[in-house]
Amino acid sequence: MEFSLFEKKEKPLIEAALIKFLDKSVSQEGTLSQAMNYSLTAGGKRIRPLLLLATVQSLGGDVSKSYEIATALEYIHTYSLVHDDLPAMDNDVLRRGKPTNHTVYGEDIAILAGDGLLTLAFEIASGGSLPAGKKIALILALAKAAGPKGMVAGQTEDIEGENQQLSLELLKAVHEKKTGELLKFSVHAGGVIADVPPFVNTLLEEFASHFGLAFQILDDILDVIGDSKELGKKTGGDAALNKSTYPGLLGLDGAKKALKSELISGKNNLLQIENYYKNAGGKFDIQLLSEMLDLLKL
Ligand code: GRG
C-alpha cells in the first residue's frame, strides 16, 4: 500500500482518537483541558502513531485494535514537546508554527498540561480490546521508552551536554534515548500487536534504530539549512544553545552522508524482513515502511 493513501485514511482516525480520549477523561471547561487540547491539536505530523499503525498494517496485524496504544504514544510525545519548550529547558516560543504552550497558558499550566498528557497516556493505553497480556507488555515497553532509562535520560544527557563537544558515539547514545526510544517503541508495538516471531522482532528493532537516527540527523541538518516558516519552529536553536549536532561534528556534507547511510541500512532491514516472509510463507508489505523511510530523505 502507498504511504500517502495510508496516511490519508489513518491520520483523521488518529486525530479523532486523540480528541475522543481527551473529551472522555478531562473536565471540558477548565484551562487544563484547553492547554492539553491546544498542544494535542497544534498540527503535529503524527509520525509515531503512523509508524506504529503502518508497522501493524504491513505485517498483516489488526489496525483497529491499535488506536489506544498509538494515541497514548502521541500523548507522550506531545507532553515531551510541551516540557522541552519550557523556559527551564529549550525556552522556545514557537512549536508546530504556533506559540508554545507556556507562551499561551503560562509556565505553571504548561507543566501541568504536560503532566496530564503523560499520565492520561497510560490510562488510554490500558483500554481497548487487545488481550491483557499484550496490553501489559506494551504499557511496560512504553513506560521504559519514555522513562528515566529512555527519553527522560536522553533529555537529561542532552541538557548536560550543552556547551560541551560530545563525541559522535556519545551524541548517538543521547539521541538513541531522547528521540530514538519513542520511535523504536512505535515499531516494536506494531510488531507485538502483529505477533511477529523473534527473528522479525530483531530486524524491526534494527530498522527502528536506523529510522530514529536518520530522523535526528535530518532534524539537526534542518536546524542549520531549514526554513523556520516551513518547519514551524525557529532554526539555529542548536547552535544558540551550543549543542553538539551531526553537522557540527561531521560537517554538513558528512551529516548528509550519515543520513543516507542510516536510510540504506533501514531499507536493508526491511528487505531482510521481506525475504524472511517469502521463505517462511507469510506476507509483508514492504512499501509502507519503505516510503516512511523515504520521508526522511533530504
Ligand atoms: C521533556 C522529558 C522531556 C523530553 C523531551 C523529544 C524531546 C525530549 C524533545 C524534543 C527536542 C527535539 C526538537 C528533538 C528533535 C527531534 C524531534 C523529537 C522533533 C519533534 O518531533 P516531530 O518532528 O514533531 O515528530 P511533530 O510536531 O510533527 O509532532
- Residues spanned by the domain of 43: 3-294
The helix-helix angle for 168-175 and 198-225 (nearest 10°) equals 110
Domains contained in the chain, number: 1
Q: Is 220 in the pocket of ligand 1 (CB under 6 A)?
A: no
- Report which residue type is found at 226: G
Q: Is 80 in the pocket of ligand 1 (CB under 6 A)?
A: yes
Residues with Cβ within 8 Å of 87's Cβ and at least 6 positions away in sequence, in order, are 102, 107
Identify each DSSP E strand in 98-172 by its residue range: 98-99
Place of cell 492520561: 120
Does the reported pTM lie above 0.75? yes
Q: Is 17 in the pocket of ligand 1 (CB under 6 A)?
A: no
Distance from C-alpha of 79 to C-alpha of 87, rounded to nearest angstrom: 15
Give pLDDT tens digits along the chain (298 positions).
Answer: 899 999 999 999 999 999 999 888 777 678 999 999 999 999 899 999 999 999 999 999 999 999 999 999 999 999 999 999 999 999 999 998 899 999 999 999 999 999 999 999 999 999 999 999 999 999 999 999 999 999 999 999 999 988 888 899 999 999 999 999 999 999 999 999 999 999 999 999 999 999 999 999 999 999 888 776 676 666 776 666 667 899 999 999 999 999 999 999 999 999 999 999 999 998 899 999 999 999 999 9
Q: Is 291 in the pocket of ligand 1 (CB under 6 A)?
A: no
Torsion over CA: 161, 153, 38, 214 (sign)? positive
Q: What is the structure's pLDDT at 121?
A: 98
Q: Which CATH number do you get for residue 84?
A: 1.10.600.10
Q: Which atom of ligand 1 is nearest to the CA of 152?
A: 2
Distances (CA, A) of 164 to 54, 112, 157, 243, 257: 38, 31, 11, 7, 24
Q: Using most ligand atoms within 8 A of CB, pick from 74, 83, 142, 219 the residue to mutate for ligand 1.
A: 219
